[in-house]
Structure 1
Amino acid sequence: MPELQIAEFFSLCFMAIALGMDAFSVGLGMGMQLLRLKRIAIIGITVGFFHIAMPFLGILIGQYISTKIEGFAIIGGGLLLITIGVQMILSSFNHEDKQLLSPVGFGLAIFALSVSLDSFSVGLSLGMSGVRTALALVLFGFFSMLLTWTGLLLGRKARGLLGIYSELLGGSILCAFGLRIIFG
């Protein structure tokens, strides 16, 4: 019996890492903005929270509703990332413009929601599989937070290396990731 629990734990860890890779990729692009370490910490915690909340909502809402709205949620998340990416690209050409969506307040919620939408559908399947839900949710939140921090810090480092082109690259990464979400 303990071998089954260990196998389940590692399976959940791999699933959590796979879900957190979205946050890592987008964090890499977002990290190329001028972000302070305190903001990076807050972003990671928020993304971790959303990676707990979205599967939990998926579990609560159920299979019937998810088949109706899942496609719209994925397209919406992709469009949000593209919007943030285009805004970053445009602001790289004109440094006087204020950012349309920055990772603060509402912009942070939009960012965290867009990278955690895929965990909603995972939550739907978790509710029906009999997996220990609390453990899965904690692992999803932990790994997505950790991977977001890693992406943001690597992006921040790349900003120092790339100089003025970092925001252009970061916006391009976000646009590409948004398109990948929409078109699979």
Structure 2
Amino acid sequence: MMEMNIWLGQLTTITMIALALGFDAFSLGVGIGLKGIRYLHIMKLGIIIGLFHMIMPIGGMLMGKMMSVVLGEWASFAAGLLLIILGVHMVINSFKSEEAVLLNHRTFWGVLLLAFSVSVDSFSVGITLGMFHLPLWVTVLLFGCCGAIMAMLGLTVGKRVGHTLGEYGETLGGIILVVFGVYFIV
């Protein structure tokens, strides 16, 4: 019973982190959606972003496992600190008033660059998660699904609504990362 509670706690933590990382894709999706996008492109971008949200944390987790050997008992503190730094960075970026230059999401390289840009945080969080002993396949699937769903949702919302919601989405995602970072440290 105790192992089941631990597993459910880890699953909840992974899900919340995956959703927090998905807010980057959501906010970018809102911005792109405001410019107008077809539903076929929404599906394509969502799937590619989801794949990047799966690939990037795997690389990060592998790096994190190597770092946990080096850091030893400090691994948990380092992981929490990294999550806090990433979260604060996301919150600060959400308040920047400068207009980001959007790439052409209709080109191959534009799609890859967009997917990569919203998945870089997944690599960093993957490093953090690699310092813990969490099920890799569950983590990767949740990151991928949340990234894809949040991207598609953001693109659809952006197509229909205003830019303000996307800014709040990135702020919320950063706050969630900070909370989990504090949780790992304490």
TM-score, scaled to structure 2 = 0.65
Equivalent of 1:11, from 2, 10, 13? 13
Q: Deviations over 1:131-153 (max 9, x none)?
A: 11111111001011111111100
Kindly state the Cα deviation for residue 103 of structure 1 after the two structures are TM-superposed: 4.0
- Which consecutive residues of structure 1, in runs of 5 or more, have no partner in the other structure? 65-69, 88-99, 163-168
Does 2:32 correspond to 1:26? Answer: no
Three-state SS of the structure 2 residue aligned to 1:31 is: helix
Asked whether the 8 Å contact 2:61–2:126 carries over to 1, the reply is yes
1:86 paired to 2:101: yes
With over 3 angstroms needed to count, the CA separation of the structure-2 counterparts of 1:84 and 1:114, relative to structure 1, is: farther
Partner of 1:50: 52
Q: Is the 8 A contact 1:47 1:116 kept in 2?
A: yes
Amino acid at match of 1:23: A
Secondary structure, aligned partner of 2:100: helix
Q: Deviations over 1:95-126 (max 9, x none)?
A: xxxxx633431100000111111111111122
Q: 2:43 aligns with which of 41, 44, 47?
A: 41
Aligned to 1:94: none
Structure 1, residues 144-171: CA drift from partner, whole Å, max 9, x if none?
111111110010113xxx7xxxxxx69x
Equivalent residue letter for 2:120: L
Contact preservation (8 Å) 2:14, 2:142: yes
Deviations 1:20-55 (A, max 9, x none): 111111111011122110110010001111111111
Aligned length: 140
Moved over 2 A (4+): 59-64, 82-87, 100-104
Identity rate of aligned residues, in percent? Answer: 32
Match of 2:125 in 1: 122
- The CA RMSD over aligned residues, in Å, is 3.0
Distance 1:31 1:154 in 2: 7
What one-letter code is carried by the residue in structure 1 that aligns with 2:134? Answer: V
Q: Which ranges of structure 2 fall in alignment gaps of 5 or more residues? A: 71-81, 83-88, 175-186
Do the aligned partners of 2:63 and 2:130 also contact (CA within 8 Å) in 1?
Answer: no
- 1:110 paired with 2:113, answer yes
Q: Is the 8 A contact 1:19 1:118 kept in 2?
A: yes
Any idea what SS the aligned residue of 2:107 has? coil
Give the match for residue 143 of structure 1.
146
Q: 1:6 & 1:60 partners in 2: Cα distance?
A: 23
Distance, in Å, in 1 between the alignment partners of 2:18 and 2:106 is 23
